[in-house]
Structure 1
Amino acid sequence: MSIYSTEYTFKFSTSIEQVGQTVWDNLANGNSPFCQYPFLHALETSGSVGGKSGWQPFHLVIYQNSDPVGILPLYKKTHSYGEYVFDFAWANTYRQYGVNYYPKLVAAIPFTPVTGARLMLNATIDRQQLIPILCQEITNQLTLFGMSSMHWLFVEQDISQTLHEHHQIQRKAVQFEWFNRQYSSFDDYLTHFNSRKRKNVRKERIKITTEGIKVVRLYGEGLTEKNMRFFYDCYKQTYLKRSGHDGYLTEDFFQKIFRNLHQNLMLVIALKDNTPIASALFVFDKNQLCGRYWGALEDIDNLHFECCYYQGIEFCIERNIAKFNPGTQGEHKILRGFEPIYCYSNHSLTELAFHEAVERFIDEENTQITQYKNNAEKLLPFKQTQD
């Protein structure tokens, strides 16, 4: 389906295969692995999205003079799970007034609360000129398909600000990220902690060793299909204990990204008496490491911190990766040196009264988020003066 403006043509596709890998790769080039064709294609072809998942692909390709110049990963949603920007209260309010909140439209990477490119454009395109035209065309789609709202999730700050200038409400949240300030080793990193916090981290790591646990990192050619099968067993077990289901992502998804994105995967495996007992999966490129999924077959104190945080920090230091996003939420990350940062989403609701109500809610919430971030910064373990 195509829609026309004076300068651009907008085509919406119900699968990434309709867009085609060549077009996608050309426009997503240089962006994170999550935005790349193999990752999103694996989600669709594994059944993790599409079908009855509640995530229906509706990807947008932008053309100029018949040439593809932009893409935007889009999904029609019939629920709010797997987004990590919570709007359940908004849906409940709609329900109370007898109005349908679902379906809605989201620009997002499914199950991936990591800030990154959403609108990916050819370098020749004037972003400032395009965005208001794009917002209007998306509004037309909402009306045409009876969708309640448009949501841009985990967008880059500059894009979020531009969207905000064009009546897309800006919402802030806080995540915790680690920044590599040219540390030479993990021990060097700890020298920047105050003494008490430094001792706590060292104690946590020593405890793992005294439990007889060995932790290894596998990536590139060192990563095998057998390793990925073990990881999936851990992933599934964690979801079963926590949520009563096998998890949002299928085993086929993990095997597909192993085959097609193995150069961007790092797996941490913990072994006890040479038997694997826990695993954590990371996705990385030259700019950033992202901790994504974790699972354990045995509960051991501090094992989560070792596998999901400390091993990731060491990996970044060794490979000179600038930052590490370990996953969403979790104030316990602060004491281990993960700093609070803002992440952004933008929202537009077709019903004016609801849009204005959400705008008021978010204005109040953003004030609270700012205070939360300020308080979190005070808890960081870094020393202000020499011990």
Structure 2
Amino acid sequence: MAVVAAAAAVGVRCSSPPLLPRKFKSSETSPFPYRNRIHASLFWGPAKRNSNNISSSSSHQQKFTFTLSSEKVITVSFVSSISDIPSTEWDACALDATGHDKFNPFLSHAFLSTLELSASAVKEKGWTPHHIVAKDEETNHILAVVPLYLKTHSYGEFVFDHSWANAYYNYGSAYYPKLQSCVPFTPVTGPRILLRDTSIKNHVFDFILSAMKDLTAKSQLSSLHVTFPSENEWHKFTQKGFLPRIGMQYHWNNRNYKSFDDFLMDMKHNKRKKIRQERKKVAAQNLIMKRLRGYEIKARHWDSFYTFYRNTTDNKWGTPHLTREFFHEMGSKMGDQVLLIVAEDGDELVAGALNLIGGDTLFGRLWGCQPQTYYPFLHFEACYYQAIEAAIELNLKTVEAGAQGEHKIERGYLPVTTYSCHYLIDEEFRKAIEDFLVRESSQVKLVIKLLRDSGPFKEGVL
């Protein structure tokens, strides 16, 4: 694509983190020579493993108390498993935080508990659950919860800070463990401080934020990160001393389409023709596409999909973070919120794409196919075109197709901004990273503009 070349010309690679700022020359001087060394290490230091292993056992006992008035005391405490929090209480917080119309399935107790119970996001894999619970001491009512993890690595986050960890290590400091508020392995935007809709929710937000920062400092951790928060939260975190960072994903928007052909009519002629040709080539391979929900998804489907998932991770030299049990448990707990798109060749399942259904959004998550097989254009059909058709049928506003992939633009998915926030204890490192993020932000914004300006839709559609 011409726009990709244009993006490269300004120093940005669209499918990976933007290029980093220039390396300091040895002849340069600065009133902060140590910071210059940090810069060099942050972005050009050798990749080394951090062998430090800080115990987190003491931090699990932390409890913070905040007095709102003579009669109102709020406590903020931490639990080592989401199972310690009643599902009804957790989900009430999540629903109040998003609203019913924007329900986010990844914030549900069912999804997050499945990650833990299936041994997918657990201490042994570098994800120690450390969730926050804020309570009214007088009534014992839960006012807010936060998904939080103590991390010993940076994998499964989709916001890249490996070079920051290398820099800490190169200068004798430990970057890991760190605190991370997120949904493991899931680059989906949503609130992270899940607040009940009460008259004191703004105070509770501030109390939780203060407790998180205090815990980071008292536990002698390097940093606290909040990834893929809502834009509103991102602004609040930034106002409270977090470093703001932006990224980019590709989403499809439903402009009140009645059918897939209705959507295609908004595309430029050459893009519309290409999509139709790709779909015809999939159909010509005698593949049958099915969209399965709830009880329609059987154990054999999940077993096959796990094989597909492992094939994807093996071929991309990735790590299979999710266990076989995760898929079975999630399907059982989440029912009709799960949409599994499968391709059949005769009686044989040969590929699949996993999606979750939210209040107004279809979230595309994982794709995979049978090992040693190849069906041209099947990936586009299963992940993008079937998802668009499903969103139109279900009257959903958006399809979130996950991270990376400029090829999504030609198929109607446009770049949108994503957010993260970072709180670092060391002031010298903080300043160096802040300088980098300013440069990175300007590049990401430019790429988003370039990609949107050269998008696949007819003039005047957007």
TM-score, length-scaled by structure 1: 0.96
Structure 1 counterpart of 2:90, one-letter code = W
Q: CA deviation at 1:287?
A: 1.1
Q: CA deviation at 1:317?
A: 0.4
Aligned ranges 1:164-313 → 2 under 5 Å: 164-243=238-317, 245=319, 247-297=320-370, 298-313=373-388
Counterpart in the other structure of 2:130:
58
Determine if contact 1:155/1:344 at 8 Å carries over to the other structure: yes
Counterpart in the other structure of 2:121:
49
Structure 2 counterpart of 1:14, one-letter code = S
Q: CA deviation at 1:52?
A: 1.2
Structure 2 counterpart of 1:37, one-letter code = H
1:69 aligns with 2:130: no
Larger Rg: 2
1:105 aligns with 2:179: yes
Counterpart in the other structure of 2:39:
none
Partners of 1:180 and 1:34 lie apart in 2 by 21
- Residues 13-65 of structure 1: CA deviation (Å, up to 9, x unaligned): 01111223232122123441111111111110111011311000000011123
Counterpart in the other structure of 2:43:
none
Structure 1 counterpart of 2:65, one-letter code = Y
Q: 1:383 is paired with a residue of what secondary structure?
A: coil
Counterpart in the other structure of 2:7:
none
Counterpart in the other structure of 1:378:
453
Partners of 1:20 and 1:221 lie apart in 2 by 25
Which residue of 110, 115, 121 corresponds with 1:38?
110
Determine if contact 1:103/1:146 at 8 Å carries over to the other structure: no
Structure 1 counterpart of 2:93, one-letter code = L
Q: Give RMSD over aligned pairs.
A: 1.4
Counterpart in the other structure of 1:345:
420
Partners of 1:214 and 1:327 lie apart in 2 by 24
Partners of 1:322 and 1:291 lie apart in 2 by 14
Partners of 2:444 and 2:404 lie apart in 1 by 13
Partners of 1:379 and 1:243 lie apart in 2 by 33
Counterpart in the other structure of 1:156:
230
Determine if contact 1:169/1:348 at 8 Å carries over to the other structure: yes
Counterpart in the other structure of 2:407:
332
Determine if contact 1:268/1:311 at 8 Å carries over to the other structure: yes
- Residues 160-213 of structure 1: CA deviation (Å, up to 9, x unaligned): 001111111110001010111110100110000111110001011011011221
1:85 aligns with 2:151: no
Q: 2:376 is paired with a residue of what secondary structure?
A: coil
- Residues 241-274 of structure 1: CA deviation (Å, up to 9, x unaligned): 22265x1000111110111002110111112233
CA pair 286-137 structure 1, distance change in 2 beyond 3 A: closer
Unaligned runs of 5+ in 1: none
Partners of 1:147 and 1:5 lie apart in 2 by 23
Counterpart in the other structure of 1:147:
221
Q: CA deviation at 1:157?
A: 0.3
Q: CA deviation at 1:378?
A: 2.1
- Residues 58-94 of structure 1: CA deviation (Å, up to 9, x unaligned): 0001112332100110000000000000001110110
Unaligned runs of 5+ in 2: 1-60, 69-73
- In the alignment of these two chains, the number of paired residues is 385
Determine if contact 1:173/1:343 at 8 Å carries over to the other structure: yes
- The alignment-based identity, stated in percent, is 35
Q: 2:328 is paired with a residue of what secondary structure?
A: helix
Structure 1 counterpart of 2:377, one-letter code = N
Structure 1 counterpart of 2:147, one-letter code = P
Determine if contact 1:225/1:258 at 8 Å carries over to the other structure: no
Partners of 2:150 and 2:412 lie apart in 1 by 37
Structure 2 counterpart of 1:87, one-letter code = D
Structure 2 counterpart of 1:34, one-letter code = F
Counterpart in the other structure of 2:211:
137
Partners of 2:349 and 2:125 lie apart in 1 by 31
Q: 1:146 is paired with a residue of what secondary structure?
A: coil
